[in-house]
């Protein structure tokens, strides 16, 4: 489908385009990203840049191989956004080859093997992240405590180059994410309160001052950006709100049942990548259902899945797995949860005829 | 009055400023008139005058044929110079049988029928008069109005809705009519109510037309059984089924008509034409046409004789400011593309638009990213991208299964699509295919019935 055609009405268009949508999402991601880059300093900046540059290169290569118009498709911004989402969900001091490999998997396997923009079943960034997580569990879970730019603990630019591209061994890999820590504490017989009190003052994870992937610490900023996207109508509210409400509801229920084992809704909403996932990844139009009804169903199920995987499965950072699983059923949801057609019943029969 | 919400719909920028505030102008008499004999849905009218004959203004020149048809009258006095094919205002650019008339400049009226009195006229008299006057739906569909006004015979009707929504961008002909000719339009409405046998009428106006609302309301007067109602300015509010939903809260069944709910919808301009037919005895020989678009030097509304070439309107407005990117008849959401302006204005022509390149941003078609915008705006509750995908894969039946026939071609999905996919074009193609299939099926069924009958006959005769 490449032919431009003005054979039939309408002859006016809303000023919207794929590139504009992608750009708006990136703008919304900007505050959280900048904050993350500040928290984790030069290594994070270098890693972020490497991810984006390599993703664009893989995009161009794939388009060349597929013989598609390179300029038009590269400028839609989708590859940059994919790389962006991948980068901010990586451990901020990960080595360069994690970034490049992740980009390659995301762009080539996650997107172009399926036929390029609009054709992929799974969210490319999450495909990249999950492949990395399973293949390189050590590198993908080596989190550091924040070392903000210009602070005493921050590495210099040259040191940072060595961290990303060299073989520097870092003592700082001591951090564990909040969810990691809770899971460990509880599985060893401790309580949620002990887990949270152990290293982090209540609220410190709200400000992002704990170990984690590049942007997940800035959940408040991600939340604000996400709400902005809803108000500017770049995304619709159905998926993010239903996902977050679903996580909140199920975690509250279990928290009431046993607060010692199950943390409350605030912990679940503002740690891990709940915000990132709900507002920016689950809303990927290509891999989510299209009807409002379908999107709400998608969100609710996704929320439950996230909770279940976080609480009872192997990986506490389970947003990516949950999203991929839901991606797989999105076409099915679209098939069965259609809007009701005007003048027809839900089943498709005409409404009752003459009075 | 509170109105009900309609499903979906898009906020479309109105672009009506250039013509909304200036009075209707009368077009000067053109040198030639080209009056097509099919300006309506149904059977073309049959010419009853011959080349060379002199006709007077309002004289019948082509008679209606069959139940759904409309006669055509001479827009002015003059000589018939030619009866033959002429370019029709249709995207195919195919010619239709057209009567060319050279005005003699005297604009002399033919003898007109007596005027009807609202109090004494019977419903049948009104419908007959409207039928003789060649009045058709002037919102664009051009369905013979008399047929609609006789629906009281088959349906139990209770109200009439006058469509003054004018939800298409650029168009202001109805807006101006309601501002300048409110009294006449209300009288026409009363005749329509009488013909339909209904006691209640609503005049629906989008809430961005305060002047029209006021003028119609004061024309109706206090305690009238005609209620002027604001409906939200949301495209496609002017779709009759959606207008009925907004005002009555009821949804017309699929495959049904608004008459099934007891409601008839007519355009305000049609009501004015009914007024002229009943109160002045005049047939439909002119209408108000919006000439607009940024490529037009001086956009305006013209009271135009049917058969005037669009090019004459453009000349009257000082011509084009630049080569237009697109010429249109009707609004930009559902209008028909024109190859050139040498086409006549017909009864259903609400506007002639010349759009500039800037107004149609050049946009590359990108693959569908499944954003669902089209699903959200679709006023018919369809999943346009899913239908498009099926048609793209030559699965017209699949598209049919998910509602292709319920698509009203309003173009809302097309309007919002961030990938700029020509969805309406896919649907028009798909609908064409379905129509073909339906025709084939009817033919095959007929053949089957005939073959079986023949076999039975032969069996009876003992041939087998």
* 3-class SS letters over A11-64: CCCCCCCHHHHHHHHHHHHHHHHHHHHHHHHHHHHHHHHHHHHHHHHHHHHHHH
Residue B7, phi then psi, degrees to nearest 5: -85, 145
Q: Which of A5, A13, A116 lies nearest to residue B361, judging by beta carbons?
A: A13
pLDDT at position A197 over 80: no
Per-residue DSSP letters for B185-242? HHHHHHHHHHHHT-SEEEEEEETT-HHHHHHHHHHH-TT-SEEEEEE---BTTTSHHH
pLDDT the model gives residue B43: 83
Cβ contact, residue pair B251, A351, below 8 Å: yes
pLDDT the model gives residue B217: 94
Share of chain A above pLDDT 90, in %: 52
3-state secondary structure of A282: coil
Cβ contact, residue pair A11, B332, below 8 Å: yes
State how far the Cα of B70 lies from the Cα of A74, in Å rounded to an integer: 56
State how far the Cα of A247 lies from the Cα of A241, in Å rounded to an integer: 10
pLDDT bracket for residue A355 (50, 70, 90): very low
B412 to chain A, minimum CA–CA distance in Å? Answer: 8
Q: What is the mean pLDDT of residues A328-334?
A: 95
Give the other-Cβ count within 10 Å of B331's Cβ. 28
CB-based contact, B171 to chain A, within 8 Å: no
pLDDT the model gives residue A205: 53
CB B284 within 8 A of CB B134: yes
CB-based contact, B429 to chain A, within 8 Å: no
Residue in chain B nearest A346 by alpha carbon? B381
Crossing angle of helices A319-336 and A292-312, in 10° steps, is: 150
CB B414 within 8 A of CB B423: yes
Q: What sign for the dihedral angle of Cα A189, A191, A192, A196? A: negative
Share of chain B above pLDDT 90, in %: 80
CB-based contact, A118 to chain B, within 8 Å: yes
Residue B464 burial (C-beta neighbours within 10 Å; 0-12, 13-18, 19+): exposed
pLDDT at position A109 over 60: yes
Q: What is the mean pLDDT of residues A120-146?
A: 90
Give the other-Cβ count within 10 Å of B106's Cβ. 11
List CB contacts (< 8 A) between A1 and chain B: 365, 367, 392, 421
CB-based contact, B398 to chain A, within 8 Å: no
Cβ contact, residue pair A14, B256, below 8 Å: no
Compute CA A184 distance to the chain's CA centroid, rounded to the nearest angstrom. 24
CB B251 within 8 A of CB B245: yes
A37 to chain B, minimum CA–CA distance in Å? Answer: 30
The candidate with the shortest Cα–Cα distance to B347, out of B30, B38, B25, B98, is: B38
- Which domains does chain B carry? 113-279 (3.40.50.11540), 363-464 (1.10.1060)
Instruction: Tell me the per-residue pLDDT of A42-52, one tens digit each, with 9 for 90 and over.
Output: 888 999 999 99
List CB contacts (< 8 A) between B426 and chain A: none
B308 CB-near residues (< 8 Å, 6+ apart) = B27, B30, B33, B75, B344, B345
3-state secondary structure of B43: strand
What predicted TM-score, i.e. pTM, was given to this entire model? 0.87
pLDDT the model gives residue A104: 97
pLDDT the model gives residue A4: 38
CB-based contact, B414 to chain A, within 8 Å: yes
pLDDT the model gives residue B359: 59
A1 to chain B, minimum CA–CA distance in Å? Answer: 7
Pairing of strands B200-206, B159-164: parallel
Residue appearing with tokens 């089957």: B448
Q: Which of B335, B369, B415 lies nearest to residue A285, judging by beta carbons?
A: B369
Name the strand (E) or helix (H) holding A78.
Answer: helix A78-88
CB B206 within 8 A of CB B166: yes
Exposure string over A77-105, b if 16+ CB within 10 A, otherwise e: bbbbbbbbbbbbbbbbbbbbebbbbbbbb
CB A117 within 8 A of CB A78: yes
- Token code pair at residue B305: 């004789």
List CB contacts (< 8 A) between B156 and chain A: 355
pLDDT the model gives residue A3: 37
List CB contacts (< 8 A) between B365 and chain A: 1-5
Cβ contact, residue pair A344, B406, below 8 Å: yes
Expressed in percent and rounded to 5, the helix, strand and coil fractions of chain A are 60, 0, 40
Q: Which of A7, A11, A339, A350 to mutate to test the interface with B (most CBs of B within 10 A)?
A: A11
List CB contacts (< 8 A) between B13 and chain A: 12
| ipTM field | 0.85
CB-based contact, A351 to chain B, within 8 Å: yes
Q: What is the mean pLDDT of residues A118-127?
A: 95
The candidate with the shortest Cα–Cα distance to A90, out of A59, A57, A122, A133, is: A133
Cβ contact, residue pair A12, B333, below 8 Å: yes
pLDDT at position A199 over 60: no
B164 to chain A, minimum CA–CA distance in Å? Answer: 21
Cβ contact, residue pair B415, A338, below 8 Å: no
Reported residue count of chain A is: 355
A323 to chain B, minimum CA–CA distance in Å? Answer: 17
CB-based contact, A75 to chain B, within 8 Å: no
Q: What is the mean pLDDT of chain A?
A: 86
Name the strand (E) or helix (H) holding B433.
Answer: helix B423-460
List CB contacts (< 8 A) between A118 and chain B: 366-370, 419
Cα dist from B1 to A120, B219, B246, B248, B258, whole Å: 49, 18, 11, 11, 20
CB A52 within 8 A of CB A84: yes
Q: Which of A18, A288, A343 lies nearest to residue B418, judging by beta carbons?
A: A18
3-state secondary structure of A222: helix
What is Dmax (Cα atoms) for chain B?
82
Q: Which residues of chain B have pLDDT under 70?
A: 90-93, 358-363, 463-464
Return the DSSP state at A334: H
State how far the Cα of A161 lies from the Cα of A96, in Å rounded to an integer: 10
pLDDT bracket for residue A2 (50, 70, 90): very low
Cα dist from B354 to A12, B12, B168, B443, whole Å: 12, 18, 15, 43
CB A50 within 8 A of CB A44: no
Q: Which of B359, B364, B369 lies nearest to residue A4, judging by beta carbons?
A: B364
CB B37 within 8 A of CB B99: yes
Return the DSSP state at A243: H
Instruction: Tell me the per-residue pLDDT of A251-268, one tens digit each, with 9 for 90 and over.
Output: 999 999 988 888 888 888
Instruction: Tell me the per-residue pLDDT of B18-48, one tens digit each, with 9 for 90 and over.
Output: 999 999 999 999 999 999 998 888 888 999 9
pLDDT the model gives residue A1: 35
State how far the Cα of A287 lies from the Cα of A123, in Å rounded to an integer: 6
Residue in chain B nearest A339 by alpha carbon? B381
pLDDT the model gives residue B389: 93
Q: Which of A9, A16, A22, A121 to mutate to test the interface with B (most CBs of B within 10 A)?
A: A9
Q: Which of A25, A342, A347 to mutate to test the interface with B (most CBs of B within 10 A)?
A: A342
């Amino acid at each position: 489908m490449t032919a431009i055609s003005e054979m039939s009405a309408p002859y006016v268009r809303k000023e919207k385009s794929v590139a504009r949508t992608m750009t708006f999402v990136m703008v919304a991601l900007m505050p959280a990203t900048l904050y993350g880059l500040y928290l984790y300093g030069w290594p994070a900046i270098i890693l972020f840049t490497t991810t984006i540059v390599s993703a664009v290169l893989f995009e161009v290569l794939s388009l060349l191989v597929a013989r598609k118009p390179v300029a038009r498709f590269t400028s839609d911004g989708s590859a940059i956004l994919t790389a962006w989402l991948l980068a901010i969900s990586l451990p901020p001091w990960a080595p360069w080859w994690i970034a490049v490999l992740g980009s390659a998997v995301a762009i080539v396997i996650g997107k172009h093997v399926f036929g390029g923009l609009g054709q992929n079943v799974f969210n490319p960034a999450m495909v990249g992240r999950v492949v990395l997580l399973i293949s390189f569990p050590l590198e993908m879970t080596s989190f550091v405590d924040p070392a903000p730019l210009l602070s005493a603990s921050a590495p210099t630019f040259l040191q940072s180059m060595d961290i990303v591209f060299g073989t520097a061994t870092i003592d700082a890999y001591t951090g564990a994410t909040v969810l990691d820590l809770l899971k460990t504490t509880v599985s060893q017989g401790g309580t949620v309160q002990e887990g949270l009190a152990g290293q982090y003052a209540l609220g410190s994870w709200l400000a992002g001052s704990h170990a984690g992937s590049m942007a997940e610490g800035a959940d408040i900023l991600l939340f604000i950006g996400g709400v902005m996207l809803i108000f500017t109508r770049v995304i619709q509210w159905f998926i993010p709100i239903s996902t977050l409400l679903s996580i909140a509801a199920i975690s509250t229920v279990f928290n009431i049942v046993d607060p010692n084992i199950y943390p409350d809704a605030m912990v679940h909403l503002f740690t891990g990548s709940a915000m990132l996932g709900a507002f920016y990844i689950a809303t990927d139009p290509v891999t989510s259902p299209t009807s409002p009804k379908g999107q709400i169903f998608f969100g609710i199920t996704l929320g439950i899945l996230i909770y279940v995987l976080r609480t009872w499965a192997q990986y506490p950072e389970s947003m990516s797995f949950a999203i991929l699983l839901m991606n797989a059923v999105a076409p099915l949801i679209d098939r069965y949860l259609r809007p009701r057609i005007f003048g027809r019943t839900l089943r498709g029969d005409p409404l009752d005829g003459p009075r | 009055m509170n109105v009900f919400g309609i499903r979906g719909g898009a906020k479309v920028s109105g672009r009506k400023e250039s013509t909304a505030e200036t009075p209707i102008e009368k077009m000067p008499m053109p040198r030639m008139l080209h009056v097509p004999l099919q300006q309506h849905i149904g059977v073309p009218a049959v010419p009853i005058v011959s080349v060379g004959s002199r006709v007077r203004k309002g004289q019948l020149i082509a008679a209606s044929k069959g139940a759904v048809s409309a006669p055509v009258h001479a827009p002015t006095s003059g000589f018939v110079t030619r009866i033959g094919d002429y370019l029709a205002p249709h995207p195919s650019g195919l010619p239709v049988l057209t009567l060319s008339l050279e005005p003699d400049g005297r604009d002399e009226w033919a003898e007109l029928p007596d005027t009807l009195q609202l109090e004494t006229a019977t419903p049948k008299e009104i419908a007959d008069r409207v039928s003789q006057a060649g009045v058709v739906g002037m919102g664009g569909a051009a369905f013979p109005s008399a047929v609609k006004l006789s629906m009281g015979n088959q349906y139990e009707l209770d109200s009439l809705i006058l469509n003054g929504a004018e939800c298409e961008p650029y168009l202001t002909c109805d807006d101006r009519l309601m501002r300048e000719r409110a009294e006449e339009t209300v009288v026409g409405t009363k005749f329509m109510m009488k013909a339909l046998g209904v006691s209640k009428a609503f005049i629906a106006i989008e809430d961005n037309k305060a002047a029209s609302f006021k003028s119609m309301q004061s024309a109706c007067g206090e305690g009238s059984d005609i209620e002027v109602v604001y409906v939200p300015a949301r495209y496609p509010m002017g779709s009759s089924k959606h207008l009925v939903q907004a005002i009555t809260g009821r949804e017309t069944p699929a495959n049904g008509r608004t008459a099934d709910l007891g409601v008839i919808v007519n355009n305000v301009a049609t009501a004015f034409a009914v007024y002229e037919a009943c109160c002045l005895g005049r047939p439909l020989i002119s209408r108000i046409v919006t000439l607009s678009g940024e490529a037009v030097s001086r956009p305006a509304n013209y009271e135009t004789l049917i058969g005037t070439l669009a090019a004459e309107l453009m000349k009257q407005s000082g011509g084009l400011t630049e080569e237009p990117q697109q010429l249109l008849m009707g609004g930009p959401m559902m209008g028909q593309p024109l190859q050139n302006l040498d086409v006549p204005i017909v009864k259903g022509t609400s506007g002639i638009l010349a759009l500039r390149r800037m107004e149609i941003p050049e946009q590359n078609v990108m693959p569908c990213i499944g954003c669902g915008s089209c699903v959200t705006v679709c006023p018919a509750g369809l999943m346009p991208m899913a239908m498009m995908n099926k048609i793209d894969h030559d699965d017209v039946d699949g598209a049919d299964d998910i509602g292709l026939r319920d698509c009203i071609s309003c173009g809302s999905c097309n309007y919002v699509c961030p990938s700029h996919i020509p969805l309406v074009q896919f649907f028009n193609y798909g609908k064409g295919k379905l129509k073909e299939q339906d025709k084939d099926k009817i033919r095959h069924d007929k053949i089957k019935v005939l073959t079986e009958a023949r076999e039975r006959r032969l069996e009876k005769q003992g041939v087998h």
